[in-house]
Structure 1
Amino acid sequence: MTEDIQRPRVGCGAAILDAQGRLLLVKRVKNPEADHWGVPGGKLDWGEAAHVCAERETNEELGIVVKTGRVLAVTDMVAPDYHWVAITYAVASWEGQPVIQEAHAIHEWGWFALDALPSPMTAGSLEAVAALRKA
């Protein structure tokens, strides 16, 4: 007999600031938090380091290369129909121009001032912004 075991999922994101201090955000297609704005990132693969996931997913979604720095936030998202842990990294350096590479994952992207963020935002991104504001 095969047992269907529910397990938490892990997502890793990258908080990228441009030279003007604006944050790069993407609008998500899929749940959890579909149609919410958040930092680029995605699902952690088996055997992958979390920071590598944030770098890989950002490149896959937007075609830019990032080097992650410190952890900004670890966010628990627990609901009756999902359980995610989101790890958001500050980006130490990046290069390239954002272009949607995965239309099945993101609707749009944009640069936003920390005092003029779009709504609604993902829980992990809200916590990451709070950490950026304290820095």
Structure 2
Amino acid sequence: ERMLPRAAVAVVCRCAAGRFALIRRGTPPDKGHWSLPGGKIELGEGTLEAAARELCEETGLCGDDVRFAPEPFTVTDVIIPAPPAYDPRRDVVITELPLQFSYHYVIAQTFASAPADVPLRPGDDASSASWFTWDEINKVRSEGSLDEEVVNVLRRADLLQKRGCLSSSQ
């Protein structure tokens, strides 16, 4: 069966105190790592609808507690190759083309804001959820528990918001 890229969303959610919502992934890929709330877009589901659903499922931030920017602010990819296959008959690792992939997501990065005092409740495939300051984000990144691509998305959202180019209004 031919694998095709899968559409997904992620949510940069910032509270009024300036902290960002991150979840610890409970399933692959990157199980155990901190990440942005998000997941697959279901057939017939709009991008912002999927973002709101995933944020609610993974953090408990739902409804009137959250205001979304009217459209995604960037798009990223997650492409994870499958481990090389081993052929025990020939005692070799097979690395010939075509390459196989475990995951390929095209991710619409969305932005939302929430009140400062809303507690996060992990759910769905998130094993935990917390608000992070920039110092805390840099700490988990340096420990290898937060992917550099996620930090880059957070930086981009932070910069766009500070320059007045990104606001949540819905």
TM-score normalised by length of structure 2: 0.67
Q: Which residue of 2 aligns with 1:116?
A: 136
From 73, 91, 112, the equivalent of 1:91 is: 112
Q: Which residue of 1 aligns with 2:97?
A: none
Query: Are 2:23 and 2:122, in contact at CA under 8 Å, matched by a contact in 1?
Result: no
- The code of the aligned residue for 1:77 comes to V
Query: Are 2:74 and 2:110, in contact at CA under 8 Å, matched by a contact in 1?
Result: yes
- The code of the aligned residue for 2:47 comes to A
- The code of the aligned residue for 2:126 comes to I
Q: Which residue of 2 aligns with 1:47?
A: 44
Query: Are 2:72 and 2:111, in contact at CA under 8 Å, matched by a contact in 1?
Result: yes
Of all paired residues, the percent bearing the same amino acid is 25
From 116, 127, 149, the equivalent of 1:107 is: 127
Work out the CA distance in 1 between the residues paired with 2:79 and 2:135.
28
Work out the CA distance in 2 between the residues paired with 1:124 and 1:51.
21
The structure whose residues are more often strand, as a share, is: 1
Give unmatched runs, 5+ long, in structure 1. none
Larger radius of gyration between Structure 1 and Structure 2:
2
Work out the CA distance in 1 between the residues paired with 2:152 and 2:108.
10
Tell me how far 1:96 sits from its aligned partner.
Answer: 4.9
Query: Are 1:74 and 1:87, in contact at CA under 8 Å, matched by a contact in 2?
Result: yes
Work out the CA distance in 1 between the residues paired with 2:149 and 2:68.
16
RMSD: 2.1
Query: Are 2:10 and 2:110, in contact at CA under 8 Å, matched by a contact in 1?
Result: yes
Work out the CA distance in 2 between the residues paired with 1:133 and 1:62.
20
Describe the superposition over 1:24-57 as per-residue Cα deviations: whole angstroms up to 9, x where unpaired.
Answer: 1000011122222112121110111111101011
Query: Are 1:38 and 1:124, in contact at CA under 8 Å, matched by a contact in 2?
Result: no
Aligned residues: 130
